[in-house]
A and B are shown apart, each in its own frame.
Chain A
Amino acid sequence: MVSKDSDDLTLVEACRAGDRRAFRILMERHQRRIYTVAYGYVRTKEDALDVVQESFLKVHRYLDNFRGGSSFYTWLYRVVSNVCIDHLRRNKRRRAVEYQDEIRHDSDTALDEEADRRIVNAGDPSALLERKEILAAVQDSLRYLSDTHREIIVMRELQGMTYEEMAQAMKCSKGTIMSRLFHARKNLQKRLLERFDEKAPSVGAAEKRGESVRAPKVVLP
């Protein structure tokens, strides 16, 4: 007999034996996290809820494919990732134009260093997010990323996947993953600063004015 205190693997075994209650306990344990990951990919609440529902059904249907080689958590989030990617494809909202990773991020050491300092000097991220305009700027910036870049950011930052896991999920090499992740972060950082300038000019203003600047001043776009 399973309970809400049963561990994931016990619940999985019970599910396989047809215990519907075990399935619900298992999925309710992870549902908010699944939603968080789904929202990271699809960027709208309603779409994320659709993904959650579809993920539940997929997990229920294909639970026998989970062989225990990784944690249930890892397997579950791979299923959710796949459902999200399929969802984006199905809705033809994928943008592949920035698939060439370097297109948007022009590598410029001086610009990069200043951007790093401005993000750091912007303040404590959790405190920043309490400001609606900052939250909106982050949302806009994530929406602006290509699907490929957003996928890799979500896999790493929200799902905590390793390079190896991401390489398997995206069917590419670890080197490609590293490159994509690097450029995705740079693009996100660049966009964040642009949005901060538009929506919250006070953020990082001291750095932008040139105070405490340790590198040559560079005017950001």
Chain B
Amino acid sequence: MNETERAACAYFDDELESVQREQFEARLRNDAGLRDQMAAWSSIRELVVGEAEAATSDLADARFEQIWDQVEASLDRPSDARIPSPVSRGLGARLKWLWPALAATAATAVVLFWWSGEGNGPDSEVQVARATDTAPSIAGDPTSPRLDGGFGAPVSNDLQIDRIEFAGRVGQIAKIPGAKGTTTVIWVQEEPQPFDSERSL
């Protein structure tokens, strides 16, 4: 693309400053080829706009009514209710897909607690079997190593879940000791969401 073509393009699209515009118009007066180019682009513009308008004019209003029925139905659903911004959405809403995993983890924790606290009772194995029916497979696996240590203070033979996979995502479980006990944290690797630009809309 040479300088003349750049200037022609910018002139046609009304992107030149007034001084440059006047200079280009002076060239146009003496250059039939440039004038043809402007006229050709103008025709193409009209053809493009006309073709799109022809497609639109064929469209019955009823099609938009159908769209509105679906839009109204979507907006009436709580999940589609207007949310001010993806950035300012509540943590709970953004991580709602995490709840099933948290539920499963909680179930496992209950099992571990039960096992560690009352694991010597005669009914313990029955309880474990029941509790782990819906828990992650490792807890329900009869071949899993038995846990003897107290919850929050694992000993060397304890079963520790430090990595979970669910719905195509991966989470790391870490235990952080503190003054009031051990805090269990689940770190979830989330795909980056480009919420900070209009491009993401």
Answer yes or no: are A and B bound together in one complex.
yes
**Residue positions of A touching B, CB distance < 8 A:** 18, 20, 24, 28, 31-32, 35-37, 39-40, 45, 48-49, 52-53, 56-58, 60-65, 75, 78-79, 82-83, 112-113, 115-117, 119-120, 122, 125-126, 128-129, 135, 138-139, 142, 153-154, 156-158, 162-163, 169, 171, 178-179, 181-183, 185, 188-189, 192, 214-215
Closest partner residue, chain B, to A169 (CB atom): B199
Task: Kindly state the separation between the CA atoms of A62 and B47 in the bound complex, as whole angstroms.
Answer: 34
Known: A65-B198, A153-B48, A162-B15. 4 other contacts (CB 8 A): A60-B71, A61-B80, A129-B51, A139-B51
Contacts A116-B40, A214-B32 given; indicate if A138 touches B47 (C-beta within 8 A): yes
User: What residues on B are CB-neighbors of A185 within 8 Å?
Assistant: 41, 44
CB distance from A115 to the nearest CB of B (A): 7
Chain A residues within 8 Å of B33, by CB: 113, 116, 215
Contact B201 A62 (CB under 8 A): yes
Residue of A nearest to B74 (CB): A57
Q: How far is the CB of A179 from chain B (nearest CB, A)?
A: 5
List of A residues within 8 angstroms of B39 by Cβ: 116, 119-120
Cβ distance B163 to chain A, nearest Cβ, rounded Å: 31
Do residues B56 and A32 form an inter-chain contact, with CB atoms below 8 A? yes
A-B contacts, 15 listed (Cβ < 8 Å): A32-B64, A37-B52, A40-B52, A56-B67, A60-B71, A78-B198, A83-B201, A119-B44, A120-B43, A125-B43, A128-B47, A129-B50, A158-B52, A163-B15, A215-B33
